A and B are shown apart, each in its own frame.
Chain A
Amino acid sequence: MLRVDHAGEYGANRIYAGQMAVLGRSQTGQLIQEMWDQEKKHLAKFNEILAENRVRPTLLLPLWNVAGFLLGAGTALLGKEGAMACTVAVEESISEHYNSQIRALMEEDPDRYVELLKLIKEFRDDEMEHHDTGLEHDAESLPGYKVLKGAIQLGCTAAIFVSQRL
């Protein structure tokens, strides 16, 4: 479970890196940079947790490295709306994932996981914020928004599934 979260934050980092590479010098550069910095903090926190709990990182990290970057760069090439649409799709997937983890932890033993629950809730709120930011910045005005969003979310679900096992 922690493995998937770690992989997710890693992937998100790479997506923002890709977006920055293309749009870094434009108006939205500042905004993307902010969101990226928050993701970096998330990743650092997960690195800590993984090491503490001696969890194995996913073997597919190099894959997420490349795939994330390409996704970020590719959508950014579609313009600012593209980048925002990508952000919306990914953040929605991640929030959904965190929510289901929170539900699972609450079901199992809320007292034992108090710290972890707090952390995941905090991160989920951050991700929702990114999601809303994306919407604010005209993500939906991208032509083919629904298709792109669907495709990206499908990819995220697949990534989560695989990272849990591998």
Chain B
Amino acid sequence: MAALLRGLRVGRALRGFGSVPKTSSPQCNGLRRGFHCAALRLQEDKDKSIPVPPSSAASSTTTYHEHYQAHPSKNNTATHMQEAPAPEAGAKEAPQPNTSYADQSGEQGEEYETEEQLQAHILNAALDFVQLHGWTLEAISAGAETLGLSAASSGMFQNGAGDLVLHFIAQCNAQLTEQMAEQHNQVQLGQAEPKKTAEFLRDAVETRLRMLTPYMDNWPQAMSILLLPHNIPDSLKHLSTLVDDIWYYAGDRSTDLNWYTKRAALTGIYNTTELVMIQDSSEDFQDTWNFLENRIQDIVNTAGAAKQAASTGEAVAQGLLGAAVTLKNLTGINQRR
């Protein structure tokens, strides 16, 4: 009964937080945990007496602290907090030891559904401090503090500033993909004209690079962080997904070697334009956009030139064959005697 009340207060706390959207999978996780804990409750009767303060929007941070400190020792105690939303689900699961650090959804059900979401929340808050502290752990700590968490929460990020930068570019890429998908839908619905490829590429790269403008002063630092050896796989992955998405929405459906050449070309354009942007001091980065325009024109020209070369080559080959046959006829080789 008491747990039920606590569960209701949990619900209120979650709604109070508002900005953290609930997703279905952590909820399911919660359900499973709920059953897990329901099964364990009988064993854990004595644990109920451990005071878990009622969650409300104001004190949720202290609850978080409690969890954060309590986590290493008492994995199962707080899972009974999730009992309230659990009852309707019918699944019975064999109790598993809750040792996975990433699988804390039951414990942190009070404020955030998953640890990933909490981390995302902190990193988002940290972005505001990048201008002040640069892409560093200080920025992350400052961000954590605005959420009411201790500055030591930045210790959660094993990769430190790398986490912040990677989070930021993942966010930017997601935004860009959303915009492109939206445009794509509009074109499908016939509400907008499809853009020409060159124009589309230019707009996409410009949109993506403009997302960097608020952080332009510190961006070189971010780029160098991305070049650290342990960050390279992730940053390459983000870059290749970005380029693949842009080409896909630009209409590329090639299934041969062009797939690779197009993406390689766009990667080159994107990287060089980014570098130009860093040392661009013109009004509204006009120099950068001019540079971008020129590079894209280069690609278009090369593609056109390649096509022309191919068709010329074909024409030349056919001409030569014709000449050879004519010669054979003239010299009488073709005639059977």
Contact = CB atoms under 8 A, between A and B. Distances in A.
Interface in A38-89: 46-47, 50-51, 54, 56-57, 59, 61-62
B244 A57 contact: no
Contacts of B257: 57, 59, 61-62
Size category of the binding interface on chain A: 10 to 19
A51 B253 contact: yes
Contacts of B256: 57, 61
Interface residues of B, number: 9
Interface string B32-61: 000000000000000000000000000000
A6 B255 contact: yes
Interface in A1-48: 6, 46-47
A12 to B, nearest CB: 15
B255 A51 contact: yes
A57 B257 CA distance: 8
Contact of B255 (A47, A59, A62): A47
B248 A56 contact: no
B259 interface: yes
A54 B253 CA distance: 8
Contact of B259 (A46, A57, A62): A57
Contacts of A54: 244, 248
B260 interface: yes
A61 B254 CA distance: 13
Contacts of A47: 255
A84 to B, nearest CB: 29
Contacts of B244: 54
Nearest to B252: A51
Q: Identify the 4 closest CB pairs spanning chains A and B, nearest first.
A: A51-B253, A50-B255, A47-B255, A57-B255
Interface of A: 6, 46-47, 50-51, 54, 56-57, 59, 61-62
9 contacts: A47-B255, A50-B255, A51-B255, A54-B248, A56-B259, A57-B255, A59-B257, A61-B256, A61-B257
Given A51-B253, A57-B259, 8 more contacts: A46-B255, A50-B255, A51-B254, A56-B259, A57-B254, A57-B255, A57-B257, A59-B260
